[in-house]
Amino acid sequence: MSVINIEDCGEGVHAIVFDRPDSPHNFMNREVVGELHEAVRNLAADAGVKGVVIASAKKSFLVGGDLKELQALKGPADAASIIETVQSCMRDMELAPKPFVAAINGLALGGGLEIALACTYRIAADDPRLKLGLPEVSLGLIPGAGGTQRLPRLVGLAAALPIMVEDRQITAAKAHEIGLIDLIVPAGELMDRAKEAILSNAAPADQPWDRDGFSLPGPSLRSPEGEEIMAAMWAKVRRRKPGLEPAPEAIMEAVDGGVADAIDDGLSLEREKFAGVAASKVVKNKIRTLFLGLNAANGMKDRPKDVASFDIKSVAVAGVGQMGSGIAYCAALAGYDVYLLEADKDRLETGTASIAKRVRGAVERNRMKPDAAEAMLARLNPATSYSDIADVDMVFEAVSEVQEVKDQVTAALCAVIRSEAPIASNTSTIPISTLARSAANPERFIGLHFFAPVDRMKLVEVIKGEETDENTLARALDAVAGMRKTPIVVNDGLGFFTSRVVGAYTGEAFTLLAEGLSPELIDDVALKAGLPIGPLSMADITSLTLLKDIVASISGDGSKTGLRGLRLTEALDKLTGAGRTGKSGGGGIYDYDDTGRHAWPGLPECFPPAGGELERDLIEKRLLYAQSLEAARAIEEGVIQDPIDADVGSVLGWAFPSAYGGVIGLIDTVGVSRFVVECDEMMERFGGRFEAPRILRDMAARNGKFFAG
């Protein structure tokens, strides 16, 4: 099955056109590289060919390599073998005695951008959706087809490093500004202008770095300015603990050790660094969760297969506070007619205004065209009467997290909407089966737990109540798909999945605080471990008073294993009793002023140090293992059916370190047997909440694990 077509464009110009027949996108694997290499050699050797255009028949250029192939790597030697073949193809392309022009449309990511870099001239379509980048680092990889060597040589260190190390994907305009793109043309003229560049000799037949006297654009690597650029990026890379994310370090080492030398020496070093990370656990973890798991979730794997798809045209959002307005924004963006139901006219106006402000902001940032924004705002229908929403296809309930309020609203909704229209509660903690008792038809009641800010957070936790039927689940998932969110489907229970696991994490952090540890130490350990923000900083942002309410709603009778010995309630009571409510209330765990954030001086009086220091590694284990243990219990209890859902949920929901794959992936990464032993040691020292559940002990006894491979 051929992926490449050779087209004669006339006047001695030929095109290599990628068109993978079994996918909406073009991507590379061993077979495609072999096919491309043969085409490059043949066209380079043909005296009748003046130049070659590399193009795509898809809506995008190329989006990288075959991740399933990478996940199957057996070791560094296997990785080196694959990448040597790719590098050889790219090198033959740029050493051919004629120009190769990249005609870039849509996305040029990873190997796609590396092919463009190996071309001697690059033209991009004028399309706001076009993005260029080297996102390999997000999957624990480094560019291996010459990206670490060609990009700095083309655009300089300052522009190249963020694209590679931080996964900064850029527009055509930005790419042209930094010298990555030579020309931007109307999309319909892309092929004609590429041909013209060859015939007019605008496209050179060689690369700058293969010419005598070549020097790096901007500061050289060993100049004071170049060393300053490298040092600044190294400082960012080293914010995580050593070894957690090897890829950023490998990219920096490939640049530092290769860019000052001849290109072939640099490519050799890149190949060595790629092989060192490509077969690692980190890569396998990230590909499993962020590619395979994410794609399966987005593919609605848990949608009932025998239920026909629903054509959802209109929805109502009951309650337009922060969460409700966010849900309404995403629903309108999806093309649904949205009815904003709010009894209080002032709150309704405030919520509607916040949505309009968000839409205007998207236009100002060039993320939405003015006509699309106008059409989106026209789909918003403010309403103060339940009768206004009688004919909608679905309702999102987003009122206060108080059961009595939700019960009243649910009963009123059921009195007016059609019997087949589902009601989805955005509760984060109250059991769905409990809330469904207020519904006339509990089988059409379901939980859709969105995450704030709704317009940016992709995850939606879909909670099935005891009586939720297949039609309701299917319609809820269809709505989520229309809103371009990623669902994980869970069963009902206190805190569902996400809230109970985050509760275990937050509870452990507050317990450490109550033991007298400094909040700066606790938060810094979490940051070094790979979390984006410390748990105590997050608690201050959330508000300590709100956190008290959340804790009460997920605690039940307090008998759950994961709650034993936690000092969360005690710590919150002491802090709020001292008037500490959080950042928005003037200060909580921290004080805030113009110079930044500082631990509240009253903490030692509230929480006298218990004596003795805790090692950073042990603090990290307590914070991370508490989450993994609670996730394992959720699987044992049937709240989570598939371990990959726990990992996708934890990485998307609260940015658990993806280097482990997620909360369950951490257990496999450590090794189930070792994980159980270490939990037993912590149980002896810190209490029963670290008791490993039966599912882990049984797995350890048979030397099993959650994920194959």
**Are 254 and 246 within 8 A, CB to CB?**
no
pLDDT band at 570 (very low <50, low <70, confident <90, very high): very high
pLDDT > 90? residue 141: yes
CB-neighbour burial class of residue 196 (10 A; exposed 0-12, middle 13-18, buried 19+) = middle
d(CA 305, CA 286): 28
Distance CA 681, CA 621 (A): 11
Report domain 314-491's class: alpha beta
Question: 472-518: per-residue pLDDT in tens?
Answer: 999 999 999 999 999 999 999 988 999 999 999 999 999 999 999 99
What letter does residue 462 receive in the DSSP assignment?
Answer: E
Query: What are 618-654's pLDDT values in tens digits?
Result: 999 999 999 999 999 999 999 999 999 999 999 999 9
- Predicted local distance difference test score (pLDDT) of residue 557: 60
Q: Is the model's pLDDT at 561 over the cut of 70?
A: no
Find all residues with CB under 8 Å of 693, minimum gap 6, and list them: 561, 629, 632, 633, 636
CA pseudo-torsion sign 501, 502, 503, 506: positive
pLDDT tens-digit map of 60-84: 999 988 888 888 888 888 888 889 9
State pLDDT tens for residues 290-319: 999 999 999 999 999 999 999 999 999 999
Peptide bond into 135 cis (omega under 30): no
pLDDT score recorded for residue 605: 94
Q: How confident is the model at residue 560 (pLDDT cuts 50, 70, 90)?
A: low
pLDDT tens-place string over residues 642-695 = 999 999 999 999 999 999 999 999 999 999 999 999 999 999 999 999 999 999
155, 178 Cβ separation under 8 angstroms: yes
The residue from 14, 25, 37, 449 that is catalytic is 449
Residue 176 a catalytic site member: no
- With bands split at pLDDT 50, 70 and 90, how would you rate the model's confidence at 401? confident
Q: Given this model, what pLDDT does residue 556 score?
A: 64
Identify the CATH number of the domain defined by range 498-701: 1.10.1040.50
pLDDT band at 550 (very low <50, low <70, confident <90, very high): confident
pLDDT in tens, 75-115: 888 888 889 999 999 999 999 999 999 999 999 999 999 99
Q: How much is the pLDDT for 312?
A: 95
pLDDT beyond 70 at 558: no
Percent of the chain with pLDDT over 90: 86
Across the chain, mean pLDDT equals: 94
Q: Return the domain boundaries, the chain.
A: 4-279, 314-491, 498-701
**CATH homologous superfamily for the domain 4-279:** 2-enoyl-CoA Hydratase; Chain A, domain 1 (3.90.226.10)
